[in-house]
Amino acid sequence: MPWVLCPSEETQPQALQAARALAADLGAIVSEFGAEEHDEAVALVSHVPQVVSSLVASRLQGTPLHALSLAGNGLRDVTRIAASDPTLWVQILGANAEKVVEILHGVREDLNRVIGTLEDPTAPGARLDLAQLISEGNAGQSRIPGKHGGPPQAYSWLTVLVDDTPGQIARLLTEIGEIGVNLEDLRLDHSSGQNVGMVEISVLPNKHELLIEALNDRGWRVLQ
C-alpha cells in the first residue's frame, strides 16, 4: 500500500524519520511529494475516477431491469467505486476541489470532442477520431504500474466456468497453485440466468497455454 509523506519547512527530521519507520513496519511503499504535487496526483488517480464512476452509475437510475441484466464486467468495473460513501467523498472532493476541477475541465473537453464526432459518425475523419480516442485510452492505461508497483506488464486472460456452489472457486485456486502457475489478477462474474460462475484469470503470457491445458486435463471448462 502506498504512503505519501508531504513534509514542509516546519517538519522536524525526527518526525519524518518516525513516519518512514512506521510505514516500513507496516509494509507500505513510501513516496515523498510536495503538498501541491500530492493533491494534483490524487485528483487524477483517485478523485476524478470516483466522480466519473458516480456519473456513469447515476445514468442507471430507473433503467429497466431487463436492460441491466445485459451488464457485464465492463459496467461493473467502471461503476464499482460508485458504491462509495457519499459523506466521505463530499469531504474529500471539497478539500481538493481546485485540482479536481482542473482535470474535469480536460475531461469535459474530451467529452465534447467525442460527442461532436458521434453526432456525425459518418463524416470524413470521424472513425479516425474515434480510433484515436480509444488509442489514447490504451496508452494511458498501459502506464498504470503493474503488480507491487512494478512496471506495466501485459498479461494473458482466460475464463474458467465454475458451478455456483460453495467451495468451487477455492478448489480452482488450489489446483492452479498445484499446477505451479502464479495468478496476476482475478475477476469474478456470473452467467445471467444460469447457476454458473465465470472466473477471469490473468497470468504471464508464457504460462497461458500451460494453464489452459492443465485445467482442461483436470476437468475444468476453460474459455479463451
Q: In terms of domains, do 8 and 104 share one?
A: yes
In a domain, 35, yes or no: yes
What CATH number is given to the structural domain containing 219? 3.30.70.260
The predicted pLDDT at position 224 comes to 72
Residues 172 and 104 in one domain: no
> Cα 201–175–180 angle (5° rounding)?
80
pLDDT top residue among 194 and 112: 112
Neighbours of 32 (CB within 10 A): 14
182-193 average pLDDT score: 81
What pLDDT digit, counting tens, does each position of 213-224 carry?
A: 999 999 999 987
Distances (CA, A) of 102 to 38, 201, 211: 14, 37, 45
User: Per the domain annotation, does 121 fall within a domain?
Assistant: no
What are the tens digits of pLDDT across the range 118-156? 999 999 999 999 999 999 999 998 888 876 566 666 789
Average pLDDT, the chain: 92
What is the percent of the chain where pLDDT is above 90?
78
Residues in a beta bridge with 185: 202
| 169 domain-assigned | yes
| Pair (91, 166) in one structural domain | no
Please report the pLDDT score of residue 152 as a whole number: 66
Whether residue 207 is contained in a domain is answered as yes
CATH number where 102 lies:
1.10.3660.10
CA 148/CA 29 separation, integer angstroms? 9
Task: Determine the pLDDT at residue 83.
Answer: 95
Please report whether residue 141 resides in a domain.
Answer: no
86-95 helix and 48-58 helix, angle to the nearest 10 degrees: 130
Its domain, for residue 62, covers 2-110
Tens-place pLDDT, residues 45-100: 999 999 999 999 999 999 999 999 888 888 999 999 999 999 999 999 999 999 99
> Percent of the chain beyond pLDDT 70?
95
Per-residue pLDDT reduced to its tens digit, 28-47 = 989 999 999 999 999 999 99
pLDDT of residue 44: 97
Residue 164 and residue 106 share a domain: no
Count Cβ atoms below 10 Å from residue 184 Cβ, excluding itself. 16
pLDDT recorded at residue 67: 93
In a domain, 132, yes or no: no
Asked if residue 22 belongs to a domain, the reply is yes
- What's the domain count of the chain? 2
